[in-house]
Amino acid sequence: MSDYRIQGMTGEWEVVIGLEVHAQVTSNAKLFSGASAAYGGEPNSHVSLVDAAMPGMLPVPNRECIRQAVRTGMAINAQINRYSRFDRKNYFYADLPQGYQISQLYHPIVGEGAIEVILDEKDADSPRKTIGIERIHVEQDAGKLMHDQHPTMSYVDLNRCGVALMEIVSRPDMRSPAEAGAYVKKLRSILRYVGSCDGNMEEGSMRADVNVSVRKPGAEYGTRTETKNVNSIRFVMQTIEVEARRQVDLIEDGGTVVQETRLFDPNKMETRSM
C-alpha cells in the first residue's frame, strides 16, 4: 500500500489514479485502409479514400493490427476474447472526416489482465505492485489540426487519421505518481518487447489520459477528472501531483470537483479545463 499522501488543511488525502494509454499499433498500413501508417510525411500524403470518408467507401480490418493487439494481450496474461466488435462513437471533430470514430466500445478484443511493477528497479528489495488492466480495445486515431500555417484559418492534416491505436485501460489501482510512472515504463517495455508499439512518446505513438481523484484514506472514490494526451512519463507524474493538489485545495475551500476533461501545461505547471 502506497504511503503517498497530500497534506491539506483538514489532514491527509489519498490520490486514486487510473490510466488510459493510447499506443499506436506497429503496422505498415492503417486500421481500415491500405494507406501508409508511417510517421511524418508531407501533409495529407498518407490518405486513402477510406481515411477521407468518401461516400461508399467500406472499411476492411487490417489483419496485422488485430494480431498485434492479441500479442499485447497475451503479454500481460489477459483474456483474449474470441468475439469482438467495432462500434461507432460519434465525435464531431474537424480532423475526423467520418464524423465518428470506429472503436470497440462494448466488445473489446482483449479483456482483463495485469502488470506487475517495481517502484525502484535499482533496489532488489523494492516493493512490487500488481496493476489491473480492464481491457484493450482497437480504434482509429484522428487527424491533426494545424493553427500556425495561416493567420485566419486552421489547416487539417489527415496523415494520422485512421492509424490503428490500442487503448489500454487500467483499473484505478495506482496511489502515487511513482506507481503511475513505473506502470507506464513497464507497459512501454512490454509493448516494445513484443513489437506491437514502438513506444515513442515524443512522436505521439504512445500517450496517456490520466484519471485522477482524491479522497480521505479509505473513503469512497471521489469525482475524477481526465487529463488528455500526456506524452511523457515525467509529465504523467507531474500531472498527477498538480491535479491532485488542485482538487484537494478546491474541496477544502468548499468547492466540488467537476468530472471533466483537462489539459496539462508543463510550462505553467497547471491543468486547465478543456
pLDDT in tens, the chain (274 residues): 578 999 999 999 999 999 999 999 999 999 999 999 998 899 999 999 999 999 999 999 999 999 999 999 999 999 999 999 999 999 888 899 999 999 999 999 999 999 999 987 777 777 899 999 999 999 999 999 999 989 999 999 999 999 999 999 999 999 999 999 999 999 999 999 999 999 999 888 999 999 999 999 989 999 999 999 999 999 999 999 999 999 999 999 999 999 999 999 999 999 999 8
Domain spans in the chain, listed from the N-terminal domain onward: 6-273
pTM of the model: 0.93
Strands of the chain (E only): list them.
6-8, 11-24, 87-90, 100-103, 113-118, 128-140, 144-146, 155-157, 164-170, 206-215, 225-230, 261-265, 270-273
pLDDT of residue 1: 55
Q: How far apart are CA 41 and CA 59, in angstroms?
A: 23
Range 208-224 burial, b when 16+ CB lie within 10 A, else e: bbbbbbbbeeeeeebeb
